[in-house]
C-alpha cells in the first residue's frame, strides 16, 4: 500500500518475477499473515493483572539471558526453576500449581516487565541482572504494583527509602534514595558486600597500599566508593595508590593492570564478574600481578562459572566474595538446596552447584510461597504486607528477614580463600575458610558517616 | 512518477478509503487492546517516524547513516532533563492542572530543537563524505555521543572547569541513565478531564500524543519527498555527478536533508523518552542505529511507507518472538527473515505488496478478488 515513488531496481524485479523467487515471496507473505493473526489474537487477551483465585500461580522473571551477562541471568533462572519444581512436588502454593516464565532483558526491559504483568498476568516477579535497568524500571514497577523481588542487584540505592537525607533518586539531581514500595531484595547488596570485605581486611590483613581496578560503569565506581567509605569507618589507614576502570567487556586490560602494578599496591580491590572476571585473572596472571601483591579481592567473582572457566589459571590463596557459596553454610536447608539443584541438572551442561545468585533466587521463590500462604491469596497488596518484616527461616544461607522499611533482606555476603581443597564439580578452585557478614542499618549509617552514600539496608 | 502512479499506484478514492480505515483503527485501537499493546503501538508509531526520517537520507538521497540513534538518545535525555529539572526550574507550576502537559510541550520542543542543532553541526561535517565513509562518520559521531552519556563526561568537564552550577544541568548519571519519576508524568486536568499523561494501566493519553505527532510528522515528510526538494534528493541518489552538472549543490542539499532527518528523528526520540519514562545510554548505542536500517530494508526503502511497514513488522515480530519465549534468540530468527527479504524481496514488504497487487490486476483484468492461478504456483 506504499505510495510508489520510484524504484531503480525495476529491472531486477522484472527478472525475478519470472524466476523461482515468486513462490517464496508468497509463502513469506502467508507466513507474515499467520504471524499477524497470532498477534491479533494476543491483542484480544484480557489485560487485568494477576491470575485471580484459580488456575496456577504465575511467576515472571526478567534476567539478562543473552550477551555479556548471559551466564549470570541463566544461573538465576536455573535456581528459580528448581525452586518452583520443589514447591510443586510438595503441593504448590495455596494448593495451586506454580508456573514460571522468563524473559531476556532485551533492549527494552520495562516492556518485558509490563508484558509479563499485563499480558501474562503474573502474580509476582523475580529478576533483573542490571542495576541500571533496575533503577530505570523503578517507576514502572511501582505503577504495576505486583510484588517484585530482586535477586541479583548490587545498587544500594534501590533499597534506600530515606529521601529526606539522601535525596529522591527520581526527582532530585544527585539524589540516591530510590526505594520502591513493592520491590524487595534477597541478595546482599553492594553496601553489605563491601562492608564484609572491608571488615575482613581490617581484621585479617596488614596492608596500607590499596589499588582498585573495576569495570567502567556504575557498579565499578560504586563498589570502590563503598569499600573506601567502610574502610575509613572501620578505622583502616589505607593509602589509595591507584584506581582504574577498563571498559565493560574489555578484551585487553593489560594497560590498566600495568598501571596498577606500577603503583605497587599490597591489596588490589576488583569488582569484575562473569567474562570480565575471567579476562582480568588471565591477564593479571600473565603480568605477574598475583605474585607481587599480598591479596586480591573481587566483590562478586566467587562463582562456579568463573572458576571453572579459569581452571588452573586461578591462583590459590586470594580472597574472593559473592552472595552465595555452596560450601559456606553448614545447615540442612543448604544441603536440600544443593541436592535438589544437582538432581535437576544431572546430565546437563549446567555446573552442578548453584551460582553466586543461587541462594537469593531460591529464597525469593520460597518467600513468595510463605507470604502468599500467610496472606491466603495472591492479592498483591496483601502479599506485600506479609513480605514486609517476613522471616524466611529455611534460607540456605541461614535465616533471613526482609526489613519492613528498606525491603532489603538481612542476607549475608561470603568471603573465602581460593583453594583446590574445596569439593567442586569442575576442574578449578573453590573457596575455603569462608566467612559471612551481615549488616544492619545503624551500623551502616555510623560507618558511612562523612560520605554521602546511603546505607541501603 | 505521475505516469507511474496512475498506472501502478492506487487512485485517490482508494487511497482515501484506506487512510480512513487506518485512521478509525488508530483511534479505536487503544480502547480495544489494553495497556501493554497501546504502549507498544505508541512506540511503534514513533519508530515509524524515526525510520521514515532515516529513509529520507537513505532511500531518497542515497546516504546510509549508521548513527541516527544519536538523535533519538539526545532527544530522550533532553526530555528526561526537562521533566526532572528544567520544568520545575522555569516555573511551569503556574499552569496548574496543565503543568504536566506544559512540561511535555517544552520537553518535546527542546528535545527536537537540540537534535536539530546537533544535526546542523554533525550533518555539515558528515555530508562532505559519501557511501561507506558517510556511514562510518555518522557511526563515529553517534558512538562519541554514546560515550558522553555513558561516562557522564559533560558533568565531569563542567566540574573540572569550575562550572559547578551547570553540572546538574548536563549530568547524565552514567550507565544508570536518567529516569523520570512517576509523579512528573502524572495528573493532567484538561477542561475538567483528569487523567495521567503516562498511566501504566491504559497508556491512552500518551498514545494519542504520539498519534498526533505521528500524523503531523508523516504528512510533513510526505510533503517533503513529493516536493521539488524531494525530487532533488532522488536526483542526487540516482547520479550525484549528473545532479551536480545540472547545477544542484549536492553537498548543501544533502546537508539540508540531514537536518530534516535529524529533526524528525529527534521528535520521535522525545516521545520514546516519555513512553519509556527516561533515557538509558543504550538508546544511543549503535544497535539502536541499526534498527531504522533494518526496518527500512525489511519494509522497502524505495516506498514512502516502506519504513513504516518495516517498523510494524520489526516490532510486532519481536513481540511475538518474546511472547513465544524465544526472546534470547531473537537475533537469529530476525537474521533469517532479513536474509529472506534481501535475497528474494529486495523491494521489501512494501515492494512485495505492490507487486502482488499489480499481478492480481494484470491477471484478473481489474477483478481484485481473483486468486492467482495454481499453474503459476507450480512454476517454482
Q: What ipTM, to 2 d.p.?
A: 0.85
> Which long-range contacts (C-beta less than 8 Å, at least 24 apart) are formed by B83-86?
B83/B107, B83/B180, B83/B181, B83/B184, B83/B185, B84/A171, B84/A173, B84/B178, B84/B180, B84/B181, B84/B184, B85/A173, B85/B168, B85/B169, B86/B110
CA dist B118 and A431 (Å) reads 53
Question: Same domain, yes or no, for A162 and A65?
Answer: yes
In this structure, the answer to whether residues A297 and A427 fall within a common structural domain is yes
Residue of B nearest to A7 (CA): B302
Domain boundary assignment for chain B = 1-31, 34-285
> Using one digit for the tens of pLDDT, what is the confidence trace for A117-126?
999 999 999 9
Does the beta-carbon distance from B181 to A170 stay under 8 Å?
yes
Residues 6+ apart with CB under 8 A from B168: A173, A174, B85, B155
Query: Do residues B170 and B155 make contact, with C-beta atoms less than 8 angstroms apart?
Result: yes
How far apart are the C-alpha atoms of B270 and B83, rounded to whole Å? 12
* Contact (CB, 8 A) for A80 and A364: yes
A4 pLDDT above the threshold of 80? no
What contacts B40, CB < 8 A, 6 or more positions away? Answer: A111, B315, B316, B319
Q: What is the CATH number of the domain that holds A296?
A: 3.40.50.2300
Do residues A369 and A397 share a domain? Answer: yes
Instruction: State whether the Cα torsion A161-A163-A164-A165 is positive or negative.
Output: positive
CB B76 within 8 Å of CB B272: yes
Q: Record the cell numbers describing residue A320, joined without a space.
A: 574472593
What pLDDT is stored for residue B163 in this prediction?
81
What's the pLDDT at A17?
35
Q: Does one domain contain both A67 and A168?
A: yes
What digits encode the pLDDT tens for the residues A91-106?
999 999 999 999 998 8
Please indicate, yes or no, whether residues A84 and A155 belong to a single structural domain of this protein.
Answer: yes
Question: pLDDT (tens digit, 0 to 9) for every residue of chain B, 380 residues total?
Answer: 333 343 345 678 888 898 999 999 999 999 999 999 999 999 999 999 999 999 999 999 999 999 999 999 999 999 999 998 877 777 777 777 888 888 999 999 999 999 999 999 999 999 999 889 999 999 999 999 999 999 999 999 998 888 877 888 899 999 999 999 878 888 888 888 888 888 888 899 999 999 999 999 999 999 999 999 999 999 999 999 999 999 999 999 999 999 999 999 999 999 999 999 999 999 999 999 999 999 999 999 999 999 999 999 999 988 988 888 887 788 888 888 888 888 888 788 888 888 888 888 887 654 444 333 333 333 33
- The answer to whether A104 contacts chain B (CB < 8 Å) is yes
| pLDDT beyond 50 at A1 | no
pLDDT of res. B48? 97
pLDDT the model gives residue A53: 66
Q: CA A430, CA B78: separation in Å to the nearest integer? A: 48
- For B11, nearest residue in chain A (alpha carbons): A3
The number of angstroms, rounded, from the C-alpha of A206 to the middle of its chain's C-alpha atoms is 32
Residues from chain A that touch B33, judged by Cβ atoms under 8 A, are 43-44
Q: Which residues of A touch B331 (CB under 8 A)?
A: 66
Q: What pairing do the DSSP bridges indicate for beta strands A57-63 and A98-104?
A: parallel
Asked if residue A171 is part of any domain, the answer here is yes
Q: Flag whether pLDDT at A24 surpasses 70.
A: no
What angle (nearest 5°) sits at the alpha carbon of residue A308, between those of residues A304 and A311? 140
In sequence order, the β-bridge partners of residue A104 are A63
How many Å apart are CA A435 and CA A442, to the nearest integer?
22
Identify whether the C-beta of residue A407 lies closer than 8 Å to the C-beta of residue A388.
yes
At A376-404, the pLDDT tens digits run 999 999 999 999 999 999 999 999 999 99
Give residue A67's pLDDT band: very low, low, confident or very high (50, 70, 90).
Answer: confident
B380 → closest Cβ in A8, A20, A111: A20
Domain annotation covers residue A182: yes
Q: How far apart are CA A142 and CA A110, in angstroms?
A: 12
Per-residue pLDDT at B12? 82
Given a contact cutoff of 8 angstroms between Cβ atoms, the answer to whether A268 and A260 are in contact is: yes
Q: How far apart are CA B6 and CA B4, in angstroms?
A: 5
Confidence (pLDDT) at B367: 46
Q: Tell me, yes or no, whether A156 and A97 share the same domain.
A: yes
The answer on A249 and A370 residing in a single domain is: no
User: Within this chain, do residues A71 and A169 fall inside the same structural domain, yes or no?
Assistant: yes
Q: Do B328 and A65 touch (CB under 8 A)?
A: yes
**Are residues A276 and A219 part of one domain?**
yes
Q: Do B200 and A114 touch (CB under 8 A)?
A: yes
A18: nearest CA in chain B? B379
- Contact list in A for residue B315 (CB cut-off 8 A) is none
CB A296 within 8 A of CB A285: no
Burial class of A182 by CB neighbour count within 10 A (0 to 12, 13 to 18, 19+): buried
Question: Using the beta-carbon criterion (under 8 Å), do B277 and A25 form an inter-chain contact?
Answer: no
Which residue of A23, A119, A174 is in closest CB contact with B380? A23
Structural domain containing residue A74: 57-188+344-401
Q: How far is CA B174 from CA A132, A272, B178, in A?
A: 9, 18, 9
Residue A196 pLDDT grade (very low, low, confident, very high; cuts 50, 70, 90): very high
Q: Do B182 and A139 touch (CB under 8 A)?
A: yes
How far is residue A244's CA from residue B145's CA, in Å, rounded to a whole number?
22
pLDDT band of residue A309 (cuts 50, 70, 90) is: very high
Q: For the packed helices B330-344 and B306-323, what is the interaxial angle rounded to 10 degrees?
A: 150
Structural domain total, chain A: 2
Q: How confident is the model at residue A54 (pLDDT cuts 50, 70, 90)?
A: confident
Interface contact A66, partner B, CB < 8 A: yes
Are the beta carbons of B182 and A144 separated by less than 8 Å? no
Mean pLDDT along residues A130-134: 91
Which pLDDT does position A50 carry in this prediction?
55
- Residue A298: inside a domain, yes or no? yes
Query: What sign results for the dihedral spanned by CA atoms A369, A373, A378, A383?
Result: negative
Is A393 in the same domain as A246?
A: no
Contact at CB, B175 and A28, closer than 8 angstroms: no
Residue A277 shares a structural domain with residue A310: yes
Cβ contacts below 8 Å, chain A against chain B, sum to 204
Q: Rounded to an integer, what distance in angstroms lies between the CA atom of residue B19 and that of residue A148? A: 43
In sequence order, the 6+-apart residues with CB closer than 8 A to the CB of A343 are: none
Amino acid at each position: 500500500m506504499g505510495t510508489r515513488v520510484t524504484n531503480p531496481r525495476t529491472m531486477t524485479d522484472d527478472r525475478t518475477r519470472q524466476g523461482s523467487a515468486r513462490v517464496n515471496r508468497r509463502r513469506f507473505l502467508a507466513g507474515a499473515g499467520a504471524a499477524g493473526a497470532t498477534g491479533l489474537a494476543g491483542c484480544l487477551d484480557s489485560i487485568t493483572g494477576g491470575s485471580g483465585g484459580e488456575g496456577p500461580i504465575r511467576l515472571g522473571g526478567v534476567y539478562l539471558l543473552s550477551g555479556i551477562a548471559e551466564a549470570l541471568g541463566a544461573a538465576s533462572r536455573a535456581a528459580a526453576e528448581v525452586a518452583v519444581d520443589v514447591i510443586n512436588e510438595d503441593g504448590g502454593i495455596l494448593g495451586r500449581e506454580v508456573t514460571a516464565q522468563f524473559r531476556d532483558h532485551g533492549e527494552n526491559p520495562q516492556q518485558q516487565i509490563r508484558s509479563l504483568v499485563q499480558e501474562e498476568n503474573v502474580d509476582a516477579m523475580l529478576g533483573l541482572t542490571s542495576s541500571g535497568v533496575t533503577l530505570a524500571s523503578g517507576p514502572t514497577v511501582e505503577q504495576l504494583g505486583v510484588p517484585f523481588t530482586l535477586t541479583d542487584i548490587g545498587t544500594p540505592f534501590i533499597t534506600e527509602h530515606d529521601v529526606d537525607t539522601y535525596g529522591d533518586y527520581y526527582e532530585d539531581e544527585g539524589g540516591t534514595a530510590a526505594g520502591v514500595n513493592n520491590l524487595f531484595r534477597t541478595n546482599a547488596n553492594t553496601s553489605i558486600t563491601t562492608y564484609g570485605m572491608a571488615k575482613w581486611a581490617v581484621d585479617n590483613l596488614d596492608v596500607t597500599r590499596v589499588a582498585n581496578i573495576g569495570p567502567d560503569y556504575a557498579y565499578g565506581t560504586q563498589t570502590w566508593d563503598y569499600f573506601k567509605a567502610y574502610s575509613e569507618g572501620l578505622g583502616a589507614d589505607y593509602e589509595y595508590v591507584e584506581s582504574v576502570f577498563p571498559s565493560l567487556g574489555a578484551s585487553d586490560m593489560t594497560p590498566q593492570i600495568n598501571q596498577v602494578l606500577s603503583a605497587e599496591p599490597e591489596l588490589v580491590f576488583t569488582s569484575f564478574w562473569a567474562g570480565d572476571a575471567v579476562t582480568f585473572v588471565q591477564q593479571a596472571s600473565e603480568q605477574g600481578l598475583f605474585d607481587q601483591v599480598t591479596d586480591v579481592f573481587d566483590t562478586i567473582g566467587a562463582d562456579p562459572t568463573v572458576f571453572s572457566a579459569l581452571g588452573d589459571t586461578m591462583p590459590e590463596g586470594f580472597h574472593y566474595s559473592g552472595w552465595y557459596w555452596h560450601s559456606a553454610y553448614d545447615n540442612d536447608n543448604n544441603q536440600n538446596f544443593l541436592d535438589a539443584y544437582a538432581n535437576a541438572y544431572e546430565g546437563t551442561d549446567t555446573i552442578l552447584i548453584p551460582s553466586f545468585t543461587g541462594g537469593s533466587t531460591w529464597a525469593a521463590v520460597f518467600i513468595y510461597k510463605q507470604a502468599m500462604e500467610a496472606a491466603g491469596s495472591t492479592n498483591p497488596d496483601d502479599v506485600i504486607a506479609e513480605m514486609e518484616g517476613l522471616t524466611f527461616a529455611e534460607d540456605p544461607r541461614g535465616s533471613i528477614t526482609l526489613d519492613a522499611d528498606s525491603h532489603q533482606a538481612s542476607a549475608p555476603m561470603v568471603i573465602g580463600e581460593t583453594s583446590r581443597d574445596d569439593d567442586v564439580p569442575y576442574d578449578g578452585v573453590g573457596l575455603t575458610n569462608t566467612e559471612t557478614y551481615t549488616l544492619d542499618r545503624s551500623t551502616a549509617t555510623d560507618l558511612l558517616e562523612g560520605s554521602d552514600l546511603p546505607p541501603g539496608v | 512518477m505521475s505516469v507511474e502512479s496512475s498506472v501502478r499506484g492506487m487512485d485517490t478514492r482508494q487511497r482515501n478509503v484506506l487512510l480512513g480505515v487506518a485512521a478509525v483503527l488508530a483511534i479505536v485501537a487503544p480502547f480495544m487492546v489494553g495497556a501493554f499493546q497501546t504502549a507498544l503501538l505508541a512506540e511503534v508509531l514513533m519508530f515509524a517516524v524515526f525510520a521514515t526520517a532515516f529513509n529520507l537520507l537513505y532511500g531518497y538521497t542515497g546516504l546510509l547513516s549508521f548513527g541516527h540513534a544519536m538523535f533519538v538518545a539526545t532527544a530522550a535525555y533532553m526530555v528526561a532533563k526537562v521533566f526532572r529539572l528544567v520544568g520545575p526550574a522555569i516555573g511551569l507550576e503556574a499552569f496548574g492542572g496543565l503543568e504536566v502537559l506544559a512540561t511535555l510541550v517544552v520537553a518535546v520542543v527542546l528535545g527536537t530543537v537540540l537534535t536539530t542543532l546537533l544535526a546542523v553541526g554533525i550533518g555539515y561535517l558528515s555530508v562532505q563524505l559519501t557511501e561507506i565513509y558517510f556511514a562510518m562518520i555518522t557511526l563515529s559521531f553517534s558512538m562519541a555521543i554514546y560515550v558522553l552519556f555513558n561516562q557522564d563526561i559533560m558533568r565531569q568537564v563542567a566540574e573540572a572547569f569550575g562550572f559547578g552550577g551547570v553540572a546538574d544541568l548536563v549530568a547524565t548519571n552514567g550507565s544508570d541513565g536518567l529516569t523520570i519519576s512517576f509523579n512528573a508524568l502524572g495528573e493532567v486536568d484538561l477542561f475538567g478531564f483528569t487523567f495521567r499523561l503516562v498511566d501504566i494501566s491504559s497508556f491512552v493519553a500518551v498514545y494519542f500524543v504520539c498519534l498526533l505527532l505521528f500524523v503531523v510528522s508523516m504528512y510533513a515528510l510526505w510533503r517533503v519527498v513529493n516536493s521539488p526538494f524531494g525530487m532533488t534528493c532522488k536526483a542526487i541518489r540516482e547520479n550525484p555527478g549528473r545532479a551536480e552538472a545540472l547545477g544542484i549543490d549536492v553537498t548543501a542539499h544533502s546537508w539540508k536533508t540531514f537536518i530534516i532527518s535529524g529533526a524528525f528523528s529527534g521528535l520521535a526520540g522525545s516521545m520514546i523518552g516519555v513512553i519509556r519514562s527516561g533515557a538509558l545510554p543504550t538508546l544511543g548505542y549503535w544497535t539502536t542505529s541499526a534498527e531504522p536500517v533494518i526496518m527500512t530494508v525489511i519494509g522497502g526503502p524505495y516506498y514512502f511507507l516502506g519504513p513504516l511497514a518495516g517498523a510494524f513488522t520489526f516490532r510486532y515480530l519481536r513481540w511475538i518472538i518474546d511472547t513465544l519465549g524465544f526472546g534470547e534468540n531473537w537475533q537469529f530468527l530476525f537474521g533469517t527473515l532479513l536474509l529472506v527479504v534481501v535475497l528474494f524481496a529486495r523491494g521489501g514488504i512494501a515492494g512485495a505488496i505492490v507487486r502482488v497487487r499489480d499481478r492480481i490486476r494484470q491477471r484478473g483484468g481489474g477483478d481484485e478478488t481473483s486468486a492467482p492461478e495454481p499453474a503459476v504456483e507450480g512454476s517454482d
